[in-house]
Structure 1
Amino acid sequence: MEYITVQEAAEKWDLSDRTVQHFCKQGRIPGARKFGKSWAIPAAAERPLDPRLGSGASPEAEEPFTGLTLMPLMNTPFPPGQCLAAVEAMAEGAEKEIARAEYHYFSGPPDRAAQEAELWLTSDNLGARLSACLIYAYANLSLGRIPQARFALTDLENSVRVIGKTVPRIRAAAGFTAAAGAVLLHLPLPDGLPPTEEFLPLLPPGLRAFALYIYAHYLYLQGNYGASAGMVEATLAMGAARYPIPAIYLHLVAVMDYMSLRQTDQARTHLLAAWTLARPDDLIEGLGEHHGLLGGMLEAVIKPNWPEDFRRIIDITYRFSAGWRKVHNPTTGHDVADDLTTTEFAASMLAARGWTNQEIADHMGISPNTVKHHLSEAMKKLGAENRKELKKHMLQ
């Protein structure tokens, strides 16, 4: 019989040396023989199925996502105001624990979300582990713990490469979380990410809705605002509103699209729809994350009517955007402004898109002189001489 080394098997199966040795120790590679501190592996041996994929001889035959605890709260329909009740109704175990971490992330206390997610970063349940990485990465951005955030984002990116051409539902789970980790931070897509049309049909309805939000956000970043808005409208029309967390994010990207298209009435409608879903359960994290892209709509709609909630959303904006820039700017080389107030940033975003001072004033409910003051302060802080230079420091 011909044998290969652990290193050769690792390269052949696209695994780490350590993982291959672990499989050998577990007796999961038939014919593997120990010699010294290493192993000899039959050259014809097939890559063992990762135990995190679940048991059984034919995992490909299982229903998509059976046994995978992937972002369970995101994938749960519940009436507004019943989010926490939906979590508590889940069976004890990975599903409930990950859902609780999701709830604490989307409702704003990132420290609790990070603590709860950290417990599952090395779980044998692949869905729980990928979910934990996604939650842990974003929660640590808001906490200013950039090394921890980078660690989790790297793990998500590597999951696509390590999982490779394995069981389709597993590849879909890795593709979903890796895309979420990259697109929402405006980072390059990971190498090896499966095409959207490959993994999207395998996702359950709630996650499919969020995946379409990710795709719509990606189209927005490409400047394809009409297609992005159309995707959002179609996704919501097909029942995504039953899943509040994906629906909130879909409405927010629609606000971004319609503000870019200068269709402020449609943008306002979608912001109020997002707010109607978010407010009863305090799911305000998404509004804070998207502030810089919403074109002053929070200032125009939420601030006058819900001033206390607006202050809490802005607190989220400051802490999240500070961490976001520490990952985004070095990776992309795009020097997004980091020392503006949220009002200065909102006014500057609109100015960079060609809005006049009067238009900005009418939209944000302030005077043209106040707009002029905010823009002057922003340009002074950024060393910009005109609106063209100001645009270089704005989100795209």
Structure 2
Amino acid sequence: MPDRWEDAMEYITVHEAAQKWKISERLTQQYCIGGRIQGAKKFGGVWAIPADAQKPEDPRRRRKPAEPKPSVPQSAPGVPNAHLIPMPLLNSTFAPGECLACVEGIEDVRLRDIARAEYNYFSGQPEEAARMSELYLSDPDLSLRLSASLIYAYSNLSIGQIQRARYALTEVRNTLKDADESMPPQLRAAAFFTVTAAAVLLHLPLPEGIGALQDYLRLLPPGLRMFALYVQAHYTYLQGDYGKSIGIVETALAMQTEVFPIPSIYLHLAAVMDYMSLKQPEEAQAHLLAAWALARPDDLIEGFGEHHGLLGGMLEAVLKKDYPEDFKRIIAITYRFSAGWRRVHNPVTGHDVADNLTTTEFATAMLAARGWTNQEIADHMGISPNTVKQYISTTLQKLNIRQRKDLKKYMLL
């Protein structure tokens, strides 16, 4: 500990705080990085914690507030009630732990079904999500069809039904092609959002002849607008402009007047991707913890599995030790989703993203491809440099390449 502090307050170390609160030192440090311990300061590489600081509340035990009730939109603003709002759960605000109550509180039975399909998808239950969304693939209401098609496409990726996924993605694109001046602008915006999201999240080229997503943002309802900003940040990340992508995320999170949990989870995960690409793991970890605090009370873990390869080993560094069972489920999601993802992505783009690596090998190789040294990777992931060397050696053998610089061809860079 340093000899002098910025004030006269009494401080204790991370080790002392961990013993006092009966939690791990790693979790205590995560609380410091995530800004969850009031008054904690960093002096050089050492965290100093006020001696009278209270242990941060575990989001799993957070008491459910009686008010406010979940905000559940029914119809798109400015559009007749016959046109329901797309992706109602994305557009809902609810306190952690209240997601299912929010879903069941939706009055319109069709919207409630779509919201249930959304919940099943975002909680890692793709079979049930596909079953429920399939019922609305031919619904007369465009917003229901768009919602169902997007859920159905991504659910079928995870269960290996690639032809069904391709069919749903084609239907989404056809909807935009068929749009004309008689379509309300809010629904045209929703159709454009759905097409763009489907392409960007699969790392596929955008359809020719469509405009920029930001031109439609003002026409989207607030929650969908937040998720559209995540899509925009993800697209900007794919262009390699990590600073701009972070700017989109931080602005979106700062400007929201109420929290939309699912879009916020994805925005935080996009920030993790950016900060890891910039070799700023502490900032990345703070965003991962923020996403986890929103996701875990309602089991909204799908996004963590989807993004695993882009998070640069952050799940292994942060979640694996303190949440081992959740981590196992996330990795199971990763294997299922990424297998389907590659079967759509690789043939279209010609980018041969590796499909025969373990998730740990992939995470290690991602960092190596970004220029991290073995020691840096070891420090980040909590393993030895020799273990890192072994992972890299095995990865090179599996990919039939000889040099680390050739890893980029097989990674999500």
Shorter-chain TM range is: 0.7 to 0.9
- The correspondence for 1:338, drawn from 355, 363, 379, is 355
Alignment partner of 1:319: what SS? helix
- The correspondence for 2:241, drawn from 224, 230, 234, is 224
Cα contact 1:240–1:247 (8 A) shared by 2: no
- The correspondence for 2:376, drawn from 359, 374, 379, is 359
What is the rounded CA distance, in whole Å, between the counterparts of 2:251 and 2:97 in structure 1?
25
Alpha-carbon deviation of 1:160? Answer: 1.3
Matched, 1:158 2:178: no
Cα contact 1:216–1:229 (8 A) shared by 2: yes
Alpha-carbon deviation of 1:241? Answer: 6.2
Which residue pairs with 2:96 in the alignment? 80
Which residue pairs with 1:104 in the alignment? 120
Deviates more, 1:153-162 or 1:317-326: 153-162
Alignment of 1:16-55 (within 5 A): none
Alpha-carbon deviation of 1:282? Answer: 0.2
TM-score by length of structure 2 reads 0.80
What is the rounded CA distance, in whole Å, between the counterparts of 2:246 and 2:257 in structure 1?
14
- The correspondence for 1:63, drawn from 78, 82, 92, is 78
What is the rounded CA distance, in whole Å, between the counterparts of 2:79 and 2:306 in structure 1?
31
Which residue pairs with 2:346 in the alignment? 329
Which residue pairs with 2:68 in the alignment? none
What is the one-letter code of the residue matched to 1:111? E
Matched, 1:315 2:326: no
The Cα offsets for residues 1-46 of structure 1, whole Å up to 9 and x where unpaired, read as: xxxxxxxxxxxxxxxxxxxxxxxxxxxxxxxxxxxxxxxxxxxxxx
Cα distance change, pair 345–241 in 1 and its aligned pair in 2 (3 A): farther
Which residue pairs with 1:180 in the alignment? 197
Alpha-carbon deviation of 1:263? Answer: 1.0
- The correspondence for 2:289, drawn from 269, 272, 284, is 272
What is the one-letter code of the residue matched to 2:213? T
Cα contact 2:153–2:169 (8 A) shared by 1: yes
What is the rounded CA distance, in whole Å, between the counterparts of 1:65 and 1:278 in structure 2?
33
Aligned length: 336
Which residue pairs with 1:253 in the alignment? 270
What is the rounded CA distance, in whole Å, between the counterparts of 1:162 and 1:288 in structure 2?
34
Which residue pairs with 1:301 in the alignment? 318
Matched, 1:170 2:187: yes
What is the rounded CA distance, in whole Å, between the counterparts of 2:391 and 2:79 in structure 1?
51
Which residue pairs with 2:137 in the alignment? 121
What is the rounded CA distance, in whole Å, between the counterparts of 2:137 and 2:261 in structure 1?
26
Cα contact 2:269–2:291 (8 A) shared by 1: yes
Cα contact 2:226–2:252 (8 A) shared by 1: yes
Cα distance change, pair 335–65 in 1 and its aligned pair in 2 (3 A): farther
Cα contact 2:302–2:330 (8 A) shared by 1: yes
Cα contact 1:347–1:360 (8 A) shared by 2: yes
- The correspondence for 2:309, drawn from 282, 292, 298, is 292
Cα contact 1:130–1:177 (8 A) shared by 2: yes
Cα distance change, pair 325–260 in 1 and its aligned pair in 2 (3 A): same
Which residue pairs with 1:197 in the alignment? 214
Cα contact 1:74–1:207 (8 A) shared by 2: yes
The Cα offsets for residues 203-228 of structure 1, whole Å up to 9 and x where unpaired, read as: 01000000000000000000000000
Cα contact 1:157–1:178 (8 A) shared by 2: yes
What is the one-letter code of the residue matched to 1:274? A
What is the one-letter code of the residue matched to 1:152? A
Matched, 1:369 2:386: yes
Matched, 1:391 2:412: no
Which residue pairs with 1:5 in the alignment? none
Q: Which runs of 5+ in 1 are unaligned?
A: 1-59
Alpha-carbon deviation of 1:162? Answer: 1.1
Cα contact 1:241–1:247 (8 A) shared by 2: no
What is the one-letter code of the residue matched to 1:114? A
Q: CA RMSD in A?
A: 1.4
What is the one-letter code of the residue matched to 1:323? G
Between the aligned residues of both structures, percent identity stands at 64
Cα contact 2:196–2:213 (8 A) shared by 1: no
Matched, 1:244 2:265: no
What is the one-letter code of the residue matched to 2:157? L
Which structure is larger by alpha-carbon Rg, 1 or 2?
1
Q: Which runs of 5+ in 2 are unaligned?
A: 1-75
Cα distance change, pair 285–241 in 1 and its aligned pair in 2 (3 A): farther
Deviates more, 1:251-260 or 1:164-173: 164-173
Alpha-carbon deviation of 1:65? Answer: 7.6
What is the rounded CA distance, in whole Å, between the counterparts of 1:241 and 1:306 in structure 2?
28
Alpha-carbon deviation of 1:196? Answer: 1.9
What is the rounded CA distance, in whole Å, between the counterparts of 1:160 and 1:308 in structure 2?
41
Alignment partner of 1:186: what SS? coil
Deviating beyond 6 angstroms after TM superposition, the runs of 4 or more aligned structure 1 residues are: none
Alpha-carbon deviation of 1:64? Answer: 4.6
Cα distance change, pair 147–65 in 1 and its aligned pair in 2 (3 A): farther
Alignment partner of 1:242: what SS? coil
Cα contact 1:78–1:86 (8 A) shared by 2: yes
What is the rounded CA distance, in whole Å, between the counterparts of 1:358 and 1:320 in structure 2?
30
Cα distance change, pair 306–241 in 1 and its aligned pair in 2 (3 A): farther
Cα contact 2:285–2:314 (8 A) shared by 1: yes
Cα contact 1:74–1:243 (8 A) shared by 2: yes
Alpha-carbon deviation of 1:192? Answer: 3.6
Alpha-carbon deviation of 1:240? Answer: 6.8
Which residue pairs with 2:51 in the alignment? none
